[in-house]
Structure formats: structure tokens, C-alpha cells
């Protein structure tokens, strides 16, 4: 993607430069850049694993969420809340899933404002296939053991807490 690989860690290098030039908050810069980079690596691997199935991560997430619901159908607004994405992103995601015949839009039985996204049989089956495919590559985290994975959860918890992702729940270990 970006020519040849570098012979050094670009984040460590950036940090050295930060310090050398007297720019502050280098620890925060370094952590923020690590997160950005980790996300990039992850998304690339995940999408690569899903590509043969015609999915991308965001669409898979919606499919998974629907699979877990009792009836296989949820209001678009609830999908947006759970996935923490903008309503227009949900519209877009469901548009594509619907075009692929993986979900169907059905009107809400009582609230006429609301549209439900309902899993089709193909959608339900594909969600399982995709989960399997992702499991095989460890959700892009292949190579990390359970300790490593727990460390990631734990390390990012303060950030998510500050963003209000929990409401005072007990931290899950």
C-alpha cells in the first residue's frame, strides 16, 4: 500500500521528533497514533476476511446484531445506538444489506415512524458464515493470546468510559 516497509517504527520515530522539537503531550500523541494505526491494521484484515462473502465490517456488525435479537428484526434507530454510528450511516448500511437480499425493511407494527430491518434467511446464514470466517483470523487479531486481548480491552476502557460508553457498570474483569 505504501511502498516499501520502513526499517523503524514510525510511531516511536514520531515521538522522538515530538520531544526533540519541544511539542508537548508526546505520550498522548503516541497513544493516539497507536490506536489509529491499530484500527487501520484491523480494518484491513477484517475486510479482507469478509471480502469473499461480499461483506465489510460495518455490514457484518449489523447482521450480527440482528442475529442476536429475538425476532431477527430491529428498528434502524436501535441499530445505530448499539453500533454507535450516525443514523445516516445506518440508512446506508441497511440500504446495501437490503440490496444484497440480506435484510428487508418492514414497517413497525405500531409506530409508523419506525422501520425495522429484518434478517432474511440468507442474511442469517451469511452472518454465521462471516462470524466463522472472522473467528478464523481472530478478528484481525490473530497472533494475540487471551492475555494480549484482555490488555487491549483494559487499556482502552478508560477512554471508552470517558466517552460515556458505560453507565457505572462494574468493569468486566
Ranges within 46-75 binding DNA (CB under 7 A): 56, 58-59, 75
Residue 73 binds which entry of DNA, a second copy, none, CB below 5-8 Å type-dependent: none
CA-based nearest residue to 60, from 135, 126, 152, 8 = 126
Strand order in the sheet with 103-107: 73-75, 115-119, 103-107
Binding mask 25-64 for a second copy (x = CB under 8 A): x-xxxxxx-xxxxxxxxxx--x----------x------x
Query: Choosing among a second copy, DNA, none, which partner's interface includes residue 105 (Cβ < 5 to 8 Å by kind)?
Result: DNA
Give which of a second copy, DNA, none residue 112 binds (C-beta under 5 to 8 Å, depending on kind).
Answer: DNA
CA–CA distance, 22 with 124 (Å, rounded to integer): 54
- The verdict on 19 binding a second copy (CB under 8 A) reads no
CB of 115 vs DNA, minimal distance in Å:
4
State the nearest-atom distance from the C-beta of 113 to DNA, in Å: 4
> Does 45 participate in binding DNA (rule CB under 7 A)?
no
DSSP string, 84-150: T--HHHHHHHHHHHHHTTSEEEEE-SS-TT-EEEEE-HHHHHHHHHHHHHHHHTGGGTTT--HHHHH
Amino acid at each position: 500500500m505504501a511502498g516499501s516497509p520502513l526499517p523503524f517504527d514510525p510511531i516511536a520515530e514520531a515521538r522522538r521528533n515530538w520531544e526533540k522539537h519541544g511539542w508537548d503531550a508526546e505520550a498522548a500523541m503516541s497513544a493516539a497514533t497507536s490506536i489509529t494505526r491499530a484500527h487501520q491494521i484491523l480494518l484491513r484484515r477484517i475486510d479482507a476476511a469478509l471480502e469473499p462473502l461480499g461483506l465489510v465490517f460495518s455490514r457484518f456488525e449489523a447482521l450480527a446484531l440482528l442475529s442476536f435479537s429475538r425476532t431477527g428484526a430491529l428498528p434502524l434507530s436501535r441499530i445505530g445506538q448499539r453500533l454507535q454510528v450516525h443514523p445516516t450511516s445506518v440508512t446506508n448500511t441497511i440500504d446495501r444489506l437490503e440490496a444484497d437480499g440480506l435484510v428487508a425493511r418492514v414497517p413497525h407494527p405500531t409506530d409508523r415512524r419506525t422501520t425495522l430491518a429484518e434478517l432474511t434467511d440468507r442474511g442469517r446464514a451469511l452472518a454465521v458464515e462471516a462470524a466463522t470466517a472472522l473467528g478464523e483470523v481472530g478478528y484481525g487479531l490473530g497472533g494475540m493470546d487471551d492475555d494480549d486481548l484482555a490488555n487491549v480491552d483494559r487499556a482502552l476502557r478508560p477512554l471508552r468510559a470517558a466517552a460515556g460508553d458505560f453507565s457505572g457498570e462494574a468493569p468486566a474483569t
